[in-house]
Amino acid sequence: MRLLYVGNLRSVHVQRWLRFFAERGHEVHLLTPPAGGTPAPRMHVHVGRSLRTGRRALDYVANAALLAPRVLRFRALVRRIRPDIVHAHYLNDAALVAALARARPLVATAWGSDVLINARESPLLRAVVSIILRRADLVTCDATHVKRALVGLGADPSKVALVYFGTDTALFHPARRDPALRAQLALDGGPAVISIRSLEPVYDVGTLIAAFPAVLARHPSARLVIGGAGSEEARLRQAARSLGIAQAVRFVGWIPEHDLPRYLASCDVYVSTALSDGGLAASTAEAMACGLPVIVTDVGDNAEWVQEGVQGFIVPPKDPSALAWRLASLLERGEERARLGRSGRALIEERNNWTAEMHRMEEYYRNLIARGVPAQGRPAG
């Protein structure tokens, strides 16, 4: 198959999807905004330009004036490539261009925030998403509540499929634990808590930092490893200093994908304090695959994946006290952490296997091409 993706090369998720299909022998093309990132072998990258001011609503308005020439350029690209499938990752103005260009068959993948946050910000953003959904031949998402939101925005339920982003359980594995990395991070033999969500307001890493003084009061040797980068970094560093816990917090920055398994497996508990998620966050699934018990906020589909006392625990969003109590209690019980970690890994192997999900996506592609009609989605459970 010849596949044309519309997405951002900087995204680890986009890179993983493209790499899978390139390695399967398909001809893979990507239309991306100017960005860093290294294309996988046999991937053809095409750069499309749009305006980015950092204010989402303004970006959509500004780019509306450029829609006509962008649509014409997209049509020219499609004529040159002649793809069997056009697949837009994230329901934004780039996906709108593909929809207005009448690319067929068109697959659109919602990531969560595009539907749950962006589409609620203004009538304009809702209209953009609705146009994409009406023109797509297949829409995929990774959570039942996102599917409901998509249908509410105008998607045909029969055209919406649940396809999980999936986890490479061979790569993300407890055996990746690295004593040398623990020494490098100066974890000093104590338990290590890790968060690798982006340092942006929606992931609310500040609540984790606010909870940590109470954790240290019970476990002075505990350390907090914060991966990721974002607009909140300076504020979060200052918060750690103001709370007097800077010596116990390790800001390690953005962690390259090839290093993620080592960082996760080398820690003892994973925490996500997100205020919103689509389905199970990729980082949460990866931590579970590495055998870590997880503590996550009660948002998205988290409660469908993390049973209380089975794979980890659910806490209310923006509640440092509840998080601190649960985290400190878990750090006291090494055997329970091991049990929760084993259960979490087993769940990911069974329900969130990356290879199996990508094979399912490949079959959807083949059905669209062969039948010329949308493939039926997986029933919401």
Q: Is residue 111 part of a domain?
A: yes
Q: Which of 370, 380, 381, 378 has its CA nearest to residue 105?
A: 370
Taken in order 282, 148, 115, 38, the sign of the CA dihedral is positive
* Beta carbons within 8 Å of 69's beta carbon, 6+ residues apart: none
Q: Is residue 229 part of a domain?
A: yes
To the nearest whole percent, how much of the chain has pLDDT over 90?
Answer: 67
H or E element that contains 162: strand 160-162
* Beta carbons within 8 Å of 266's beta carbon, 6+ residues apart: 176, 177, 178, 179, 181, 182, 185, 192
Report d(CA 320, CA 251) in Å as an integer. 19
- Let me know whether 157 and 220 are in one domain: no
For β-strands 85-89 and 43-47, DSSP reports them as unpaired
pLDDT at 337: 96
Parent domain of 318:
174-351
Q: Which of 218, 259, 215, 212 has its CA nearest to residue 236?
A: 212
Joined together, the tokens standing for residue 45 give 């990258």
pLDDT at 372: 66
Q: What's the mean pLDDT in 21-46?
A: 84
pLDDT, one tens digit per residue, over 230-259 is: 999 999 999 999 999 999 999 999 998 889
Q: Which residue has the higher pLDDT, 188 or 105?
A: 105
- Let me know whether 181 and 64 are in one domain: no
pLDDT, one tens digit per residue, over 298-308 is: 998 899 899 99
pLDDT at 175: 96
pLDDT at 81: 94
Average pLDDT across the chain, whole number? 89
pLDDT at 377 over 50: no
pLDDT at 380 over 70: no
* Beta carbons within 8 Å of 320's beta carbon, 6+ residues apart: 207, 208, 210, 211, 214
Structural domain count, the chain: 2
- Within its chain, how far is the Cα of 171 from the centroid? 17
Kindly state the DSSP code that residue 34 receives in the 8-state scheme: S
- Let me know whether 45 and 102 are in one domain: yes
Domain of residue 318, CATH code: 3.40.50.2000
Q: Is residue 377 part of a domain?
A: no
- Let me know whether 115 and 238 are in one domain: no
pLDDT at 375 over 60: no
> DSSP states of 42-73 as a string?
TEEEEE------S-HHHHHHHHHTTHHHHHHH
Give the pLDDT band (50/70/90) at residue 43.
confident
Kindly state the DSSP code that residue 86 receives in the 8-state scheme: E
Report d(CA 264, CA 318) in Å as an integer. 23
**What are the φ and ψ backbone dihedral angles of 222, each rounded to 5 degrees?**
-70, 150
- Let me know whether 66 and 183 are in one domain: no
pLDDT at 52: 64
Q: What's the mean pLDDT in 342-364?
A: 93
Least confident window among 81-85, 279-283, 321-325: 279-283
Q: What's the mean pLDDT in 176-194?
A: 93
Q: Is residue 376 part of a domain?
A: no
pLDDT at 373 over 70: no
pLDDT at 25: 93
Q: Is residue 330 part of a domain?
A: yes
H or E element that contains 347: helix 334-351
Q: Is residue 204 part of a domain?
A: yes
Q: Is residue 378 part of a domain?
A: no
Give the pLDDT band (50/70/90) at residue 40.
low
- Let me know whether 297 and 362 are in one domain: no
- Let me know whether 161 and 178 are in one domain: no
- Let me know whether 116 and 189 are in one domain: no
pLDDT, one tens digit per residue, over 130-182 is: 999 999 999 999 888 889 999 999 999 999 999 988 899 999 999 999 999 99
pLDDT, one tens digit per residue, over 208-238 is: 999 999 999 999 999 999 999 999 999 999 9
Other beta carbons within 10 angstroms of residue 356's beta carbon come to 13
- Let me know whether 214 and 95 are in one domain: no
pLDDT at 63 over 80: no
- Let me know whether 205 and 296 are in one domain: yes
Joined together, the tokens standing for residue 367 give 């059905």
- Let me know whether 18 and 149 are in one domain: yes
Tokens 């920055």 sit on residue: 253
pLDDT at 325 over 90: yes
pLDDT at 313 over 50: yes
- Let me know whether 155 and 26 are in one domain: yes
Q: Is residue 6 part of a domain?
A: yes
pLDDT at 59: 67
pLDDT at 62: 67
pLDDT at 264: 97
> Per mean pLDDT, which of 65-79, 144-158, 241-255, 274-288 is the most reliable?
241-255
Quick one: the chain helix, strand, coil %, rounded to 5? 50, 15, 35
